[in-house]
């Protein structure tokens, strides 16, 4: 069987007929400009009207997108998310490898001629149909390792195995990217700290936006706050002192923010796995609407992805209900954001996918590639990356091969949507080449 | 060695009695006493509840209750034991090993919650101050671990890798410390047949070796040791009852490798000395571990009498559990013992808010032992909230007599009152702290005590003292 190639819709070699409606003209012309001018080469190549330097000097008051980084801890299986529709794309191999777990291809929601989406993720179809959802089915960590903790850590830090780092990749992005004044709350983690912002003194760790307060004392609030400030040294490198002052500064920003409930009739799940995550996304949407300077949020959706057993089938099983919860919450988030979705990019990744063949306990063990997802108004929807194939010679030690370095997805987002100050500093060790780039993100429109 | 310093670091907090004890015995004798006291049992720990029950009995109690019921009960028990048990170091080691062999009890926990309390007594507490080899072996056969990492359903035909991987990565060797992916597969074969018998709703679950499920074929596991040489464990894959010996022998071999010594030494030095464990102390500790055939007490003695430990006060941030226990122990607080009473709820609420939902950490790696992990903007606010509530005796189920913290008779100036309260909690307040406390009520620190409305402000004074950076460190 020939390996299907997943490429961006519209490119010459593409096989997909993804879109029911024509791709907007403005986007087509933008891609042509980019291709013609060789702007896809490296960050350093300056294209008139694009590129970091030109943008910054023309747009002092304009920020990039707000990035929402959602890490899915536990090794989320990707083969059940974007799966082959027919034998030519490997559906027979998948069915043989996963006799009890494989999704029936007839139930997949078609994304292209060859691939479809897990039916439990129907809530993502509006974003797909609006050309705002990019799926990368064979994305992941390039170096071979199947330890949750090792790979999670290195992905969050954005470094190769064994390379030292004390700050997450998103934290580094904030460090190297100037924020136009006034400085608000540039970054947050919800409902607790998240690795991609570890080590950052810019990011504030929140549990909920409505309990970020000094409490427990009896006396006057501002006198207590003043005393707490005085008890903690300034200009020290002691984490206790640093966080104390960061908390006190952030308090006012968060508590004075006008955080409104879900908009546009967005309906987050009221129960099940999606309830808590939906609540987090609703708060993030509220923070975005409150316009307090947010540039980056990092969170997690750990629904129990590490399904060594009880994976279930596509109709009723753990994986199916996890995927439904994820899709429903993301779908509601996009509705909640409304027009704000034009300036938000949501990226989802997991440390690795799961084994191609099911084990003897109705589950799957640690694998390699999984499906990455990117959503947002500035995203060129489509299924991206080289499909590694599911024939025996194409499967690597019972796992789907990684053909897309997760960092090349981040590079697109960092360069085109976040206008990062220094891509090489954010992703040290990642060698950026045109061949690696998927170009799934549209460059921000410069203001005239 | 400074008495208060020792007491804050091998005990959870300095009670006046503890400090006097160290003064009279001397620090080394105190240390030896602490090394000799085993962990607390179940007597007088929780009123009602399921700690001393069998798994089957516990199932009958918990079934139909919220899935976090067992974690709540375990937290209450842990706090009461740590606050009250004379064997402070033993309770610290129980907390350390519980986290080292971390399991998750709660929603979709594969029934682990019915077994956790049984294994806390029979595995962790039984061996916390014993031999690491025995700890690993008994943990491998524990119902909670067999359920949590799926090993009970691992068979020779389709071995399940979950436990085998974490045994090496998290329990004994450390990540990527000498083994590779192939070894994970091989080790998973060794532990096939380590299963469970019984039913939760009748006689309960118990470990049972099941020879028919064991992989009977040669297995070789080769570990690369720190010096670059390799060590190989081989078994032909024994049949029948003798097959269990494959796993027993493997554990006994694995825990005696230099890789294991290095890993455990690093974790223990990190626990007691610093987030950046001094390499020389790690190396000497690893040697003691091997020379004593994995006995834990000699290893602790070595660390706790080392120059690095003696000179490293204030390097380790208190975890939420340590913070709460220190606060309660130092203040002589009472803790309602009712298994599902107000103290249980308060303890769970506080620990959750501070980021340490004990027994509900989702992954087998346990909570990281790292100061920055515990101190975020959010948890900083929650620490201050705990402090404020404690000072104002506003923690339901936890009885703190704030007035009893005051020296009797009251000293003449308010700053001496501050200093006395600070000393009670093991905190030496500096000039800046005293000024800040005085500023809170717009007075100078040398103001006469009689001029200050202590009835109104004492609670907040105590809360502010408990919020000082110094109290956040051991």
Residue B399 burial (CB < 10 Å; 0-12/13-18/19+)? middle
pLDDT of residue A284: 98
Cα(B440)–Cα(B431) distance, integer angstroms: 14
Over range A25-51, report the average pLDDT: 28
pLDDT of residue B3: 63
Q: Which domain holds residue B450?
A: 404-472
User: CB contact, 8 Å: A249 with chain B?
Assistant: no
Kindly report the CA angle at B380 between B376 and B385, in degrees rounded to 5? Answer: 150
Spatial contact of A9 and A382, defined as CB atoms under 8 Å apart: yes
Say if residue A32's pLDDT is above 80.
no
pLDDT of residue A315: 79
Cα(B176)–Cα(B63) distance, integer angstroms: 40
pLDDT of residue A2: 35
Give me the CATH number covering residue A301: 3.40.720
B450 assigned to some structural domain = yes
In this predicted model, what pLDDT tens digit does every residue of B310-338 receive, in sequence order?
A: 888 889 999 999 999 999 999 999 999 99
In this predicted model, what pLDDT tens digit does every residue of B174-185 receive, in sequence order?
A: 988 999 999 999
Say if residue A416's pLDDT is above 60.
yes
Over range A30-36, report the average pLDDT: 25
Over range B2-8, report the average pLDDT: 69
The pTM of this model reads: 0.87
Spatial contact of A295 and A179, defined as CB atoms under 8 Å apart: yes
Spatial contact of B216 and B239, defined as CB atoms under 8 Å apart: yes
Q: Which of A213, A219, A309 sits opposite B460 (nearest CB)?
A: A219
Residues of B in contact with A192 (CB under 8 A): 355, 376, 378
List the single residue in A with minimal CA-CA distance to B431.
A231
Kindly report the CA angle at A89 between A83 and A90, in degrees rounded to 5? Answer: 75
Q: Which of A74, A192, A239 sits opposite B372 (nearest CB)?
A: A239
Radius of gyration for the alpha carbons in chain A, expressed in angstroms and rounded = 22
My answer on whether B136 and B273 are in the same domain is yes
What's the pLDDT band for A448 if we cut at 50, 70, 90? very low
CA A22 to chain centroid, in Å, comes to: 26
Alpha helix ranges (H) inside B37-180: 55-62, 69-84, 88-100, 116-119, 126-127, 132-140, 143-148, 162-166
Over range B249-268, report the average pLDDT: 98
Say if residue B46's pLDDT is above 60.
yes
Neighbours of A275 (CB within 10 A): 13
Over range A4-24, report the average pLDDT: 33
A214 assigned to some structural domain = no
pLDDT of residue B2: 59
Say if residue A61's pLDDT is above 60.
no
A67-81, B233-247, B304-318: range with lowest mean pLDDT:
B304-318
Say if residue A9's pLDDT is above 90.
no
What percentage of chain A exceeds 70 in pLDDT? 85
In this predicted model, what pLDDT tens digit does every residue of A311-329 receive, in sequence order?
A: 998 777 999 999 999 999 9
Spatial contact of A156 and A195, defined as CB atoms under 8 Å apart: yes
Dihedral sign from CA coordinates of A154, A155, A161, A165: negative
pLDDT of residue A21: 34
What's the pLDDT band for A446 if we cut at 50, 70, 90? low
Residue B340 burial (CB < 10 Å; 0-12/13-18/19+)? middle
B139 assigned to some structural domain = yes
Number of domains within chain B: 2
What's the pLDDT band for A43 if we cut at 50, 70, 90? very low
In this predicted model, what pLDDT tens digit does every residue of B65-75 receive, in sequence order?
A: 989 999 999 99
Q: Which domain holds residue A305?
A: 25-209+257-426
pLDDT of residue A16: 33
List the single residue in B with minimal CA-CA distance to A193.
B376
Cα(B269)–Cα(B457) distance, integer angstroms: 41
pLDDT of residue A31: 26
pLDDT of residue A62: 52
A32 assigned to some structural domain = yes
Say if residue A171's pLDDT is above 70.
yes
In this predicted model, what pLDDT tens digit does every residue of B350-390 receive, in sequence order?
A: 999 999 999 999 889 999 999 999 999 999 999 999 999 99
Number of domains within chain A: 1
Residues of B in contact with A205 (CB under 8 A): 376-379
Tokens representing residue B472 in the block: 């956040």
B152 assigned to some structural domain = yes
Q: Report whether the peptide linkage leading into residue B9 is cis, meaning its omega lies within 30 degrees of zero.
A: no
Q: What is the ipTM for the molecules in this complex?
A: 0.94
Q: Which residue, chain included where needed, has tokens 């389709």?
A: B158
B82 assigned to some structural domain = no
DSSP E strands, B121-213: 194-199, 204-209
Over range A29-44, report the average pLDDT: 27
Closest of A281, A293, A314, A251 to residue A63, by C-alpha = A293
Cα(A234)–Cα(B24) distance, integer angstroms: 40
* Domain closes at, from B259, B277, B295: B277
Closest of B224, B150, B231 to residue B191, by C-alpha = B150
Q: Minimal Cα–Cα distance from A387 to chain B, Å?
A: 25
* Domain closes at, from B261, B277, B293: B277
A202 assigned to some structural domain = yes
Spatial contact of A405 and A154, defined as CB atoms under 8 Å apart: no
Spatial contact of A72 and A195, defined as CB atoms under 8 Å apart: no
Say if residue B249's pLDDT is above 60.
yes
Closest of A348, A297, A330, A335 to residue A65, by C-alpha = A297
In this predicted model, what pLDDT tens digit does every residue of B122-171 receive, in sequence order?
A: 999 999 999 999 999 999 999 999 999 999 999 999 898 899 999 999 99
In this predicted model, what pLDDT tens digit does every residue of A361-398 receive, in sequence order?
A: 889 999 999 999 999 999 999 999 999 999 999 999 99
A409 assigned to some structural domain = yes
Q: Which of A214, A232, A360 sits opposite B155 (nearest CB)?
A: A360
Q: Which residue, chain included where needed, has tokens 């602790």?
A: B300
Spatial contact of A254 and A206, defined as CB atoms under 8 Å apart: yes
User: CB contact, 8 Å: A106 with chain B?
Assistant: no
B194 assigned to some structural domain = yes
pLDDT of residue B107: 84
Q: Please, what is the average pLDDT of chain A?
A: 86
**Axis crossing angle, helix B258-272 with helix B88-100, rounded to the nearest 10:** 130
Alpha helix ranges (H) inside A350-429: 406-412, 423-426
Closest of A90, A88, A119 to residue A106, by C-alpha = A119
Q: Minimal Cα–Cα distance from B381 to chain A, Å?
A: 6
Residues of B in contact with A238 (CB under 8 A): 469
pLDDT of residue A40: 30
H/E run at residue B178: none
pLDDT of residue B336: 98
Q: Minimal Cα–Cα distance from B52 to chain A, Å?
A: 31
* Domain closes at, from B277, B294, B326: B277
Looking at residue B243, what DSSP letter applies?
Answer: G
What's the pLDDT band for B4 if we cut at 50, 70, 90? low
Kindly report the CA angle at B174 between B171 and B179, in degrees rounded to 5? Answer: 105
């Amino acid at each position: 069987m020939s390996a299907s190639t997943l490429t961006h819709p519209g490119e010459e070699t593409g096989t997909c007929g993804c879109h029911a409606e024509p791709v907007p003209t403005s986007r087509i012309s933008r891609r042509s400009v980019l291709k013609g001018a060789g702007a896809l080469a490296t960050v350093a190549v300056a294209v008139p009207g694009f590129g970091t330097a030109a943008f910054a000097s023309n747009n002092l008051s304009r920020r990039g997108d707000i990035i929402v980084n959602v890490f899915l801890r536990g090794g989320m299986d990707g083969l059940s998310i974007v799966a082959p529709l027919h034998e030519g794309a490997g559906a027979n191999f998948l069915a043989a490898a996963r006799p009890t777990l494989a999704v029936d291809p007839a139930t997949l929601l078609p994304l292209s001629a060859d691939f479809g989406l897990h039916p439990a993720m129907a809530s993502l179809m509006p974003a797909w149909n609006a050309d705002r959802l990019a799926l990368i089915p064979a994305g992941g960590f390039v170096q071979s390792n199947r330890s949750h903790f090792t790979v999670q850590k290195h992905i969050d830090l954005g470094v190769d195995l064994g390379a030292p780092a004390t700050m997450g990749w998103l934290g580094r992005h904030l460090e190297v990217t100037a924020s136009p004044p006034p400085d608000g709350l540039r970054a947050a983690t919800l409902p607790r700290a998240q690795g991609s912002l570890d080590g950052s003194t810019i990011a504030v760790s929140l549990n909920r936006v409505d309990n970020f307060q000094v409490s427990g004392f009896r006396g006057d609030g501002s006198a207590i706050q003043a005393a707490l400030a005085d008890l903690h040294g300034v200009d020290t490198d002691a984490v206790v002192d640093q966080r104390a002052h960061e908390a006190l500064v952030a308090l006012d920003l968060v508590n004075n923010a006008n955080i409104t409930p879900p908009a546009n009739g967005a309906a987050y799940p009221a129960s099940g796995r999606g309830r808590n995550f939906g609540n987090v996304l609703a708060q993030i949407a509220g923070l975005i609407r409150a316009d307090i300077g947010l540039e980056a949020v990092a969170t997690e959706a750990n629904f129990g992805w590490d399904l060594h057993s009880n994976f279930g089938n596509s109709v009723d099983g753990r994986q199916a209900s996890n995927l439904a919860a994820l899709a429903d919450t993301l779908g509601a988030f996009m509705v909640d954001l409304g027009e704000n979705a034009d300036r938000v990019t949501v990226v989802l990744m997991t440390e690795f996918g799961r084994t191609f063949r099911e084990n003897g306990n109705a589950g799957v063990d640690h694998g390699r590639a999984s499906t990455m997802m990117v959503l947002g108004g500035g995203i060129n929807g489509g299924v991206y990356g080289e499909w590694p194939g599911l024939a025996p010679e194409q499967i690597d030690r019972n796992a789907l091969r990684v053909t897309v370095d997760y960092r090349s997805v981040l590079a697109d987002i960092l360069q085109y949507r976040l206008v990062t100050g220094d891509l090489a500093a954010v992703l040290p060790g990642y060698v950026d080449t045109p061949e690696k780039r998927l170009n799934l993100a549209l460059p921000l429109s410069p203001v005239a | 060695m400074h008495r208060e310093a020792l007491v804050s670091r091998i005990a959870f907090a300095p009670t006046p009695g503890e400090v006097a004890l160290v003064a009279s015995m001397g620090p080394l004798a105190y240390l030896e006493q602490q090394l000799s006291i085993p962990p607390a049992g179940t007597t007088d720990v929780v009123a009602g509840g399921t700690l001393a029950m069998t798994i089957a009995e516990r199932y009958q109690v918990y079934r139909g209750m919220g899935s976090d019921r067992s974690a709540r009960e375990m937290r209450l028990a842990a706090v009461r034991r740590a606050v009250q048990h004379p064997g402070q170091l033993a309770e610290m080691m129980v907390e350390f090993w519980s986290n080292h062999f971390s399991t998750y009890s709660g929603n979709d926990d594969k029934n682990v919650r019915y077994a956790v309390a049984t294994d806390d007594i029979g595995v962790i507490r039984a061996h916390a101050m014993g031999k690491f080899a025995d700890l690993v072996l008994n943990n491998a056969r524990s119902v909670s671990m067999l359920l949590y990492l799926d090993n009970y359903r691992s068979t020779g035909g389709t071995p399940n890798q979950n436990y085998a991987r974490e045994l090496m990565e998290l329990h004994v060797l450390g990540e990527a410390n000498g083994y590779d992916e192939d070894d994970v597969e091989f080790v998973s074969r060794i532990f096939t047949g380590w299963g469970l018998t019984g039913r939760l709703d009748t006689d309960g679950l118990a470990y049972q070796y099941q020879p028919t499920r064991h992989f009977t074929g040669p297995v070789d596991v080769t570990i690369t040791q720190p010096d670059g040489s390799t060590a190989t464990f081989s078994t032909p894959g024994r049949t029948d009852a003798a097959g269990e010996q494959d796993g027993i022998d493997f554990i006994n071999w694995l825990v005696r490798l230099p890789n294991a010594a290095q890993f455990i030494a690093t974790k223990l030095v990190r626990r007691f000395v610093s987030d950046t464990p001094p390499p020389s102390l790690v190396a000497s500790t690893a040697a003691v571990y091997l020379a004593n055939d994995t006995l834990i007490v000699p290893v602790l003695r070595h660390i706790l009498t080392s120059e690095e430990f003696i000179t490293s006060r204030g390097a380790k941030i208190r975890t939420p559990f340590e913070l709460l226990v220190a606060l309660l122990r130092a203040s002589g607080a009472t803790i309602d013992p009712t298994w599902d009473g107000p103290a249980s709820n308060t303890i769970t609420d506080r620990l959750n808010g501070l980021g340490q939902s004990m027994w509900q950490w989702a992954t087998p790696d346990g909570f990281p032992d790292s100061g920055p992990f515990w101190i975020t903007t959010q948890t900083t606010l929650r620490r201050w909230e705990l402090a404020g509530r404690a000072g104002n005796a506003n923690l339901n189920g936890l009885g703190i007599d704030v007035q009893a913290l005051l020296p009797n008779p009251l000293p003449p100036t308010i700053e001496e009152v501050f200093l006395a309260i600070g000393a009670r909690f093991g905190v030496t307040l500096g000039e800046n702290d005293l000024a800040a406390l005085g500023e809170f009520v717009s007075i100078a620190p040398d103001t006469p005590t009689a001029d200050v409305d202590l009835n109104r402000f004492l609670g907040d004074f105590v809360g502010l003292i408990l919020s000082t950076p110094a109290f956040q460190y051991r």
